[in-house]
Amino acid sequence: MNLTKAQSAEAGLALDRAPRTVTTLLVGKLLCSGTIEHLCRVRNVSVTGMMLETHYTLGYGNWVTVELRSGDRLQGSVVWSSEGRAGVEFTQPIDVDYILAQAKAGLDRFCGPAPRAPRFDVTCAARITCFGRPIDVTLENISQSGARITLSKPPREDTEIILSVPGLPSRRCTTRWSSEDKAGLIFLEPISYNDLAPWLEHCNLDS
């Protein structure tokens, strides 16, 4: 079928306006009813919606917000869900190219062994090993790339230690900063999503 020049231009504009689905993998913080936050991954994103991976069970009609590491927030309601996944329809169309560009800029800006990632408040007993000496600490928050701990005498900045948290693999890390009774840690290797997400859900059930 031959198209006139005007028809071809119209078809091109229609294609430009059509929702475009992009397969990607963006880690974010899932917020829904209540104040508890959950770790999630955005698998597919389009102008009108996204598919999430999460260990938190979502139901049809649930209102959700996903905060990405760039600070952008994607909001909408759940239109389908299955074990570990959910489809979300946005309240209004988004600029997919902008969201992906912001996510890439965030990774480039915080590149290195421990890129910035969504951080979650927790309160649990943990232990660090510093110069071969075990020290009991309290874990205050955690992300895939780092954590904050409380203890009476924090190690100095740039000290290499091992953090042991019940239910998670031990991590080699360095102190990024320390104060009178707290220290911020950077993991030398990030915690995998598949390790951290179910651990956080277990903490939420216990809280």
- What topology does CATH give the domain 18-109? Thrombin, subunit H (2.40.10)
Say how far apart CA 43 and CA 23 lie, in whole Å: 6
Domain boundaries, the chain: 18-109, 120-206
Mean of all residue pLDDT scores within the chain = 85
What does the pLDDT look like over 92-108, one tens digit per residue? 999 998 888 887 765 55
Q: What pLDDT does residue 19 have?
A: 65
Burial per residue of 64-103, b for 16 or more beta-carbon CB atoms within 10 angstroms, e otherwise: bebbbbbebebebbbeebeeeebbbebeeebebeebeeeb
Query: Count H helices, E strands: the chain?
Result: 3, 12
Question: Distances from the Cα of 188 to the Cαs of 109, 112, 144, 147, in angstroms?
Answer: 18, 9, 11, 12
Say how far apart CA 52 and CA 50 lie, in whole Å: 6
Q: Tell me which residue has tokens 């104040």.
A: 35
- Would you say the CATH fold of 120-206 matches that of 18-109? yes
- This prediction's pTM: 0.77
- Considering the domain 120-206, what is its CATH architecture? Beta Barrel (2.40)
- Ranges in the chain, pLDDT < 70: 1-20, 35, 105-116, 206-207
Q: Any idea what DSSP says for residue 60?
A: T
